[in-house]
């Protein structure tokens, strides 16, 4: 699995410097993963994939419920940051998907049998986008290694599960990771900016 990750990073660099060569390498990596795919692991990988959306929805909901029970304003802010990142990530993901209209790898290259056939465009991976949006939100909000490391390991596992199941090219997964992480980064700082502006406005009213 480590070799696949390193190969994926190299594929991105090559895509940036040489799109034609990058696309060829993208397909070769997909072929490499599918050729070595152990179908006995499909159930586990599908379980990781399917857990992505429920976990993503449960996080901001749990933060919001906790804020109500404990009367914790910080948790309200965190819930808003998390939810905002997921909304941005979802909007960007589907905006890019239906703008790029990239075919799934098994649609373009015959001879591959994915775990299941998806009908939506391939680029970027929606599951990966949501997973990395969730991991980035947690990492920015809690900033503890025992939160950050498991969060990103899980997000990486979701991304790899999409490759193992044959649903995406590696570049689809990597773009999804960038979209998800970037969306939560924007949401996190936008919420902090709004909080500071609101506090300043409240203070000004109090002074007046």
Whichever domain contains 144, its CATH number is 1.10.606.20
Grade residue 4 by pLDDT with cuts at 50, 70 and 90: very low
Residue 31 lies in a domain: no
Position 123 confidence tier, pLDDT thresholds 50, 70, 90: very high
Q: Is residue 97 part of a domain?
A: yes
Q: How confident is the model at residue 24 (pLDDT cuts 50, 70, 90)?
A: confident
**87 assigned to some structural domain:** yes
Confidence of residue 26 (pLDDT cuts 50, 70, 90): confident
pLDDT in tens, 145-163: 999 999 999 999 999 999 9
**For residue 66, what are the domain limits?**
41-207
SS3 for the chain is CHHHHHHHHHHHHHHHHCHHHHHHHHHHHHHHHHHCCCHHHHHHHHHHHHHHHHHHHHHHHHHHHHHHHHCCHHHHHHHHHHHHHHHHHHHHHHHHHHHHCCCCHHHHCCCCCCCCCCCCCCCCCHHHHHHHHHHHHHHHHHCCHHHHHHHHHHHHHHHHHHHHCCCCCHHHHHHHHHHHHHHHHHHHHHHHHHHHHHHHHHHHHHHC
- Closest residue by Cα to residue 123 from 20, 26, 14, 45: 26
Q: What is the mean pLDDT of residues 69-96?
A: 95
pLDDT number for residue 11 = 52
pLDDT at residue 115 greater than cutoff 50 = yes
For residue 84, tell me if it sits in a domain: yes
């Amino acid at each position: 699995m480590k070799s696949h990750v390193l190969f994926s990073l190299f594929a991105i660099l090559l895509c940036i410097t040489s799109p034609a060569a990058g696309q060829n390498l993208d397909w070769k990596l997909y072929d490499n993963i599918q050729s070595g795919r152990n179908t006995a692991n499909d159930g586990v990988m599908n379980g990781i994939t399917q857990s992505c959306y429920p976990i993503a929805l449960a996080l901001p909901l749990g933060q919001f419920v906790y804020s109500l029970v404990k009367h914790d304003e910080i948790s309200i802010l965190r819930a808003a940051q998390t939810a905002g990142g997921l909304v941005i990530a979802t909007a960007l993901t589907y905006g890019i998907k239906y703008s790029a209209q990239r075919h799934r790898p098994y649609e373009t290259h015959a001879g591959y049998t994915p775990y299941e056939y998806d009908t939506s465009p391939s680029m970027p991976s929606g599951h990966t986008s949501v997973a990395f949006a969730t991991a980035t939100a947690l990492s920015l909000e809690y900033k503890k290694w025992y939160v950050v490391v498991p969060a990103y390991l899980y997000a990486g596992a979701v991304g790899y599960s999409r490759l193992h199941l044959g649903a995406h090219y590696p570049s689809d997964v990597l773009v999804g990771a960038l979209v998800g992480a970037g969306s939560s980064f924007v949401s996190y700082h936008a919420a902090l900016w709004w909080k500071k502006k609101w506090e300043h406005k409240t203070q000004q009213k109090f002074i007046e």
